[in-house]
Structure 1
Amino acid sequence: MKKCPFCAEEIQDAAIKCKHCGEFLDPSARLLSKDAGAKWYFRTGFIVVALLSVGPFALPLIWFRPNLSRPWKIGLTIATLVFSWYLYQAAQESMKNLAEYYRLLKGL
């Protein structure tokens, strides 16, 4: 028997994960399972795809994610809104240019 380095409870010598606190004893296993216990819609990959697909509409996924700190949530929200505003302005400018091109073609 050995003690868990996280909760100090007695565990088996061959244990990979503590049965009391749920922490992996092997550091590489801990890195691989960072999002393993999270629901599918809170996993990092899904949130990144959602932000790239629907932009600000995916912000609730960030705000309801339990293991993300408040400063990260605020920073990601600001970055998403700034990037979305930039894309909106670029789309507006493209529409103006397209309208101008159509006006020029109509005049020929």
Structure 2
Amino acid sequence: MNTDKWYHKKSFVILIIFIFGPLALPLVWMSPNITLKWKIAVTIALTVLTYFTYQSYLEVKSMADDYMQLLQ
């Protein structure tokens, strides 16, 4: 009998990663269906992606601030 919980299935975990990003990491680490190598790889990938997303946000915010100063 398959006792896997629906929230431990790989397809669900992948979907949640795409929806919630790094907030899904606890679900990745709790899932027994994902190997340790994949858990580490997903954690590193999401960390790098989050870092670059934040850096992009700071750049866009700076550009928006400069544009707002030009308008005033």
Deviation at 1:53, TM superposition (A): 2.3
Residue of structure 2 aligned with 1:92, choices 42, 58, 62: 58
Contact 2:28 2:39 in 1 (8 A): yes
In structure 2, distance between residues paired with 1:68 and 1:48: 11
**Larger RCO: 1 or 2 (CA < 8 Å, sep 6+):** 2
TM-score (ref. length: structure 1): 0.59
Residue in 1 aligned with 2:42? 76
In structure 2, distance between residues paired with 1:37 and 1:103: 59
Is 1:62 aligned with 2:28? yes
In structure 2, distance between residues paired with 1:67 and 1:52: 18
5+ residue gaps, structure 1, are: 1-21, 23-35
In structure 2, distance between residues paired with 1:53 and 1:67: 20
Residue in 2 aligned with 1:12? none
Taking only aligned residues, the RMSD between alpha carbons, in angstroms, comes to 1.7
Deviation at 1:42, TM superposition (A): 1.6
Instruction: Flag the structure with higher helix content.
Output: 2
In structure 2, distance between residues paired with 1:46 and 1:65: 10
Deviation at 1:43, TM superposition (A): 2.1
In structure 1, distance between residues paired with 2:25 and 2:47: 9
In structure 1, distance between residues paired with 2:68 and 2:14: 37
| Identical columns (%) | 36
Deviation at 1:63, TM superposition (A): 0.5
